[in-house]
DNA sequence: CCCGCATCTGACAACGTTGTCCAGGCTCTA
DNA sequence: TAGAGCCTGGACAACGTTGTCAGATGCGGG
């Protein structure tokens, strides 16, 4: 985390205190207060300028009925002249709804989450809500910190891609009316809506695809099994192998290795040795990219199927066969579910699983080479 | 835009009115009011339960000094028991700062903006602020709508990737103290901080690179010239050609074509005909991807340099030579600049230009083939 | 000419928090 | 033991908006 050495720290919990006397530095506080919003005009100012009452300004601003055209014009002019803009912060306090929803995901820079986030945003926009998002960096503590910060802001709803596996901390929030939908991975120890891709089925089909093309020694490189999707994909791999009656050897599997250097090492190990694998199933987009590199360097053809689509996969030689999940559909589905909750349709929590799609491009159809 | 048929519409400007009588539906309103935050406990409730004053609770919640350990314990217990969480909405209203900044970009799903957004988020986080972001979809009206909505929320600052070319509408906001930094493209008709990549220099160098490898008939495919970066890259192209004393033919240039189908057509046109180009400079990542496809299909080697790096560019055959800009650095620089403004360092608006980097991978070093 | 009604307007409280300020109780010293 | 000074706690106003409700205004009809 970056270090903030600046004086801007609005959520700072301390109040200014003089080191020697322990007295609150009143002058300092006053100066800050004075600058609040740089002295933005309020409805009161507009009312004074237009020579009308406060509530009349409110009426005009909100296009409520019951204002004569003439009064309205005067108010509009005052608004223009002063550059007034309604303070939604205050509005929110009064009305109870913030018209904003929170999205907590793993890393916005990951190409998988960009479209997902965008899809959530579009749905939110259609409902007149803004989107606040934060990245958990796959850290459960940071996830919780973010989620609770969003709850303190009184977001109307939350879309969470869980990093942790215990979300009981959300119970009081959900009880208090914060609509919540989990995406991509299920919630831990709490009953809530979940929207998932069919990781198990996708992986099983992908591995079965390799088996159908004659492979028996198939490697699996996946993320930490504590991540639900990773565990499911591993389960899918095992299921496909078992269905085909192929006993899996430990040397064929790499679990929980994420950093590219070590994924590379794991892939190299599988491809060398006395009985190397002839095909690899890559558990996510980052792994796939690394494995593509390793295979390109290793000289002989190795079949590959990856989970998650990657850009330009079709332009590589051979094209990369993938089990694609629809990130945008995940986001859209989750957000729609969220707003259905907010509409007050009291619905029992549900688990929605979206299908994956096998896209054959060449790499998954290579025959075993040794 | 999606259609919102639901009843959740918190920013709806109307108040509930009975169709026949024209009377406000008071009961309905009351019911909603009652449910405000699902009846969340407030400090008052905590105070009552702990048997202390309101301000004492505030002190505990904010870790302010002046509370005896015993009192503090009682308050903490009450907080636990009630599941109290401070309402930052109200806090914000009182304190004047919202500890949130807005980011308006073109499309979060674009792989270029993911890392940029993430970088802004990290800086914001280091300063204790949350990030609200929105996509303008390259529509100036939507940009303005978003920006003003964010201002109404009283975000402390704004990072804007402009879609429009007139930002005078931001003048009152900036005057009122909303820190503002433009990124990727300069602001229109307003004096403000801008953080840019050196599009002109990058394009010029990229094209000069092609010229240095013997090309003279070099195509340019770029975005609409009303987009500043597109215009600058075009200018860079022209400058490089002029420096080399090569007169540019109109048939070599495609401007303002963005949708993949038509980019494809433009590329195909350049590569056929009586005197086809031997090299192409692609004005952005989306164009580059399409051009790579066209070149792959066309059968003969065509040199290519693209603006913006793309994932897997090194794995293609040949690797794609690009002029890379550092999206994360853009975001980080802009956000840091923003918080410097918020620190109250009154600094004159500045234009910061970050260098680009030419990454040679093969496609830009191909000799002319005809 | 005045009353009743409809329409328009504004005073006021409330939302949940924090800053200010004062009261009361305690300790310490003369 | 009284007075000064410190520490803790609480009453109250304010932030900017919206909901409520009552008052003002105007108009038409009796």
End-to-end CA gap in chain B: 48
8 A C-beta contact, residue A117 and residue B108: yes
Specify the range with the lowest mean pLDDT, choosing from A29-38, B204-213, B232-241: A29-38
Distance CA A66, CA A48 (A): 19
pLDDT at A39: 75
In A303-332, the residues whose Cβ lies within 8 Å of chain B are 310-313, 315-317, 328
Q: Distance, in angstroms, between A244 CA and closest chain B CA?
A: 33
**Quick check: B325 and B202 in contact, CB under 8 A?**
yes
What's the CA angle centered on B351, arms B345 and B352, to 5 degrees? 90
Number of A:B CB contacts under 8 A? 261
Q: What is the pLDDT of residue B38?
A: 55
Give the closest-approach CA distance of A241 to chain B in angstroms. Answer: 30
Residues of A in contact with B143 (CB under 8 A): none
C1' of C14 to CA of A94 (Å) = 8
For residue A168, how many other CB atoms are within 10 A of its CB? Answer: 10
Considering Cα of A324, then A330, then A331, then A336, what sign does the dihedral take? positive
B219 shares a domain with B173: no
Q: For position A347, what pLDDT does the model report?
A: 81
What pLDDT band is residue B369 in, cutting at 50, 70 and 90? Answer: confident
Residue-wise pLDDT tens digits, B297-312? 888 999 999 999 998 8
Residue A11 lies in a domain: no
B349 assigned to some structural domain = yes
pLDDT digits (tens, 9 = 90+) for B314-349: 888 899 999 999 999 999 999 999 999 998 777 899
The pLDDT value given to residue A18? 34
Residue B7: what pLDDT?
A: 63
In a domain, B346, yes or no: yes
Question: Is A135 in the B-facing interface, judged by CB distances under 8 Å?
Answer: yes
pLDDT band at A65 (very low <50, low <70, confident <90, very high): confident
pLDDT band at A10 (very low <50, low <70, confident <90, very high): low
Which of these, B339, B263, B335, lies nearest to B103 by C-alpha position? B335
Q: pLDDT averaged over chain B? A: 88
**Cβ-based contacts with strand C at under 7 Å:** A 15, 24, 26, 29-30, 33, 47, 51-56, 59, 65-68, 70-71, 90, 93-94; B 22, 36-37, 40, 42-44, 54-55, 58, 61-62, 84, 86-87, 90-91, 93-95
Chain B residue numbers touching A88 (CB-CB < 8 A): 149, 152-154
Is residue A266 within 8 A of residue A276, CB to CB? The reply is: no
**What is B35-58 written as a DSSP string?**
TTTSS---HHHHHHHHTS-HHHHH
8 Å CB contact of A110 and B111: no
The confidence band for B10, taking pLDDT boundaries of 50, 70 and 90, is low
Q: What domain count does chain B have? A: 3
In the numeric block, the tokens 């108040």 are attached to B15
pLDDT of residue B47: 93
**Closest residue by Cα to residue B177 from A11, A83, A58, A76:** A83
Q: Are residues B216 and B314 in the same domain?
A: yes
Which strands form A351-354's sheet, in the order they lie side by side?
Answer: A351-354, A193-197, A179-183, A157-160, A100-105, A130-135, B130-135, B100-105, B157-160, B179-183, B193-197, B351-354
User: How far is B98 from B141, CA to CA, in rounded Å?
Assistant: 25
pLDDT band for position A37 (cuts 50, 70, 90): very low
Q: Say what percent of chain B tops pLDDT 70.
A: 89
Are B208 and B314 found together in one domain? yes
**In whole angstroms, what is the distance from residue B113 CA to residue A94 CA?**
35
pLDDT(B26) > 50: no
Tens digits of per-residue pLDDT, B137-148?
A: 999 999 999 999
Contact list, B156 vs chain A (CB under 8 Å): 8, 10
Q: Which residue from A86, A128, A148 is facing B9, i.e. has the nearest CB?
A: A128
C-alpha to C-alpha distance for A33 and A13, rounded to whole angstroms: 16
Say what the pLDDT of residue B311 is: 85
Q: Which bases of chain D are under 7 A from a protein CB atom?
A: 7-21
Per-residue pLDDT, averaged over B1-20, amounts to 45
Q: Please, are residues A236 and A201 in contact by the beta-carbon 8 Å criterion?
A: yes
Collapsing DSSP to helix, strand or coil, B59 comes out as helix
B228-285 pLDDT per residue, tens: 999 999 999 999 999 999 999 999 999 988 899 999 999 999 999 888 999 999 999 9
Categorize the per-residue pLDDT at B20 as very low, low, confident or very high, splitting at 50, 70 and 90. Answer: very low
Q: Answer whether A290's CB lies under 8 Å from A267's CB.
A: yes
**Section A46-72 average pLDDT:** 92
Query: In this structure, are A32 and A179 located in the same domain?
Result: no
**Which residues of chain A have a CB within 8 Å of the CB of B3?**
126
The more confidently predicted of residues B9 and A273 is: A273
Tell me, what's the pLDDT at A366? 97
Question: Which of A138, A350, A96 has the alpha carbon at shortest distance from A227?
Answer: A138
pLDDT for the residue numbered A44: 93
User: Does one domain contain both B182 and B241?
Assistant: no
Give the pLDDT band (50/70/90) at residue A344: confident
Judged against a pLDDT cut of 60, whether residue B166 lies above it is answered with: yes
Interface contact B352, partner A, CB < 8 A: no
B149/B208 same-domain check: no
* Cα distance between residue A301 and residue A292, in whole Å: 11
Of the residues A22, A29, A97, the best mutation for testing chain B's interface (the one with the most B CB atoms within 10 Å of its CB) is A97
Q: Does residue B64 sit in the same domain as residue B140? A: no
| Partner-chain contact B344 A7, CB within 8 Å | yes
pLDDT of residue A38: 56
Given this model, what pLDDT does residue B12 score?
A: 43
Q: Is the pLDDT of residue B226 over 90?
A: no
- Domain of A225, CATH number, reads 3.40.50.2300
pLDDT of residue B17: 33
Residues B217 and B302 reside in one and the same domain:
yes
Predicted local distance difference test score (pLDDT) of residue A88: 92
The pLDDT-based confidence of B30 (bands split at 50, 70, 90) is very low
The nucleotide lying nearest A88 (C-alpha to C1') is: D17
A130–B115 CB contact, under 8 Å: no
Same domain, residue pair B186 and B205: no
Helices A260-271 & A285-298, crossing angle to 10 degrees? Answer: 50
Q: Domain for residue B367, yes or no?
A: no
* Predicted confidence (pLDDT) at residue B32 exceeds the cutoff of 50: no
Decide if B292 and A311 are in contact by the 8 Å CB cutoff: no
Residues B280 and B203 in one domain: yes
Using an 8 Å Cβ cutoff, are A234 and A220 in contact? yes
Which pLDDT band holds residue B80 (cuts at 50, 70, 90)?
A: very high
Using an 8 Å Cβ cutoff, are A183 and A161 in contact?
A: yes
Tell how far CA A34 is from the center of its chain.
Answer: 38
Cross-chain Cβ contact A89/B89 below 8 Å: yes
Confidence of residue B295 (pLDDT cuts 50, 70, 90): very high
Record: contact B6-A107, CB cut-off 8 A: no
Could B152 and A86 be called an inter-chain contact, meaning their C-beta atoms sit closer than 8 Å? yes
Taking contacts as CB-CB distances below 8 angstroms, the residues of chain B near A109 are 114-115, 117-118, 328
Q: Which residue has the tokens 């007295």?
A: A23
Q: Is B1 a residue whose pLDDT tops 90?
A: no
Mean pLDDT within A92-120: 94
CA of B68 to C1' of D7 (A): 10
Q: What is the CATH number of the domain that holds A60?
A: 1.10.260.40
> Are A315 and B293 inside 8 Å of each other by CB?
yes
Tell me: pLDDT of B25 over 90.
no
pLDDT of B23 higher than 90: no
pLDDT for A6 equals 57
Asked whether residue B177 is domain-assigned, the answer is yes
Q: If you average pLDDT over residues A191-197, what whole number do you get?
A: 96
In terms of domains, do A130 and A186 share one? Answer: yes
For A123, the closest of B2, B289, B344 (CB atoms) is B2
Q: Is residue A298 part of a domain?
A: yes
Give me the domain span that covers residue A78: 26-86
Q: Same structural domain for residues A242 and A275?
A: yes
> Does the pLDDT value for residue A185 go beyond 60?
yes
Reference B134, options B126, B125, B120, A13; nearest CA is B120
Task: Count CB-CB contacts under 10 A for residue A19.
Answer: 6
pLDDT of residue A97: 87
pLDDT tens column, A247-271 = 999 999 999 888 999 999 999 999 9
Nearest protein residue, CA measured to C1' of C6: A66
Res. B13: pLDDT tops 70 = no
| Inside any domain, residue A4 | no
Half-sphere exposure of A352 (CA within 13 A, CB side): 19
- Tell whether A292 lies on the interface with B, counting CB pairs under 8 A: yes
**CA-to-CA distance for B119 and B125, rounded, in angstroms?**
10
Q: What is the mean pLDDT of residues B92-106?
A: 93
Task: For residue B199, give the nearest of B222, B233, B224, B225 by alpha carbon.
Answer: B233
Q: Name residues whose C-beta falls within 8 Å of residue B109's C-beta, 6 or more positions apart in sequence.
A: A114, A115, A117, A118, A328, B135
> Does residue A54 lie within any of the structural domains?
yes
> What pLDDT shows up at residue B37?
45
């Amino acid at each position: 985390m970056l270090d903030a050495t600046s004086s801007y720290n609005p959520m700072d919990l301390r109040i200014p205190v003089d080191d020697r006397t322990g007295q609150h530095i009143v002058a300092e506080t006053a100066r800050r207060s004075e600058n609040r919003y740089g002295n933005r005009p309020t409805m009161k100012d507009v009312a004074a300028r237009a020579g009308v009452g406060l509530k009349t300004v409110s009426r005009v601003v909100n296009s409520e009925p019951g204002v004569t055209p003439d009064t309205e014009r005067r108010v509009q002019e005052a608004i223009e002249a002063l550059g007034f803009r309604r303070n939604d912060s205050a509005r929110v306090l009064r009305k109870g709804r913030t018209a904003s929803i929170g999205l907590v995901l793993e890393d916005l820079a990951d190409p998988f989450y960009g479209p997902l986030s965008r899809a959530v945003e579009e749905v939110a926009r259609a409902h007149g809500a803004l989107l606040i998002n934060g990245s958990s960096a796959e850290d459960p503590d940071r996830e919780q910190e973010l989620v609770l910060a969003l709850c303190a802001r009184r977001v109307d709803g939350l879309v969470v891609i869980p990093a942790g596996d215990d979300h009981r901390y959300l119970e009081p929030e959900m009880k208090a009316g914060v609509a919540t939908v989990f995406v991509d991975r299920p919630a831990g120890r709490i009953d809530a809506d979940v929207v998932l891709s069919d990781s198990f089925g996708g992986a099983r089909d992908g591995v079965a695809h390799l088996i159908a093309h004659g492979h028996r020694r198939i490697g699996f490189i996946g993320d930490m099994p504590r991540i639900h999707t990773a565990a499911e994909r591993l389960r899918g791999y095992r299921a496909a192998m078992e269905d085909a009656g192929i006993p899996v050897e430990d040397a064929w599997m790499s679990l929980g290795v994420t950093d590219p250097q070590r994924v590379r090492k794991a892939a190299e190990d599988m491809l060398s040795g006395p009985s190397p694998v002839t095909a690899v199933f890559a558990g996510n987009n980052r792994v796939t990219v690394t494995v593509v590199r390793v295979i390109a360097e290793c000289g002989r053809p190795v079949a590959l199927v990856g989970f998650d689509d990657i850009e330009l996969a079709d332009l590589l030689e051979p094209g990369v066969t993938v089990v694609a999940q629809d990130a945008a559909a995940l986001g859209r589905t989750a957000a729609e579910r969220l707003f259905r909750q907010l509409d007050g349709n009291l619905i029992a929590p549900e688990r929605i699983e979206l299908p994956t799609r096998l896209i054959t491009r060449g790499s998954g159809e290579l025959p075993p080479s040794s």
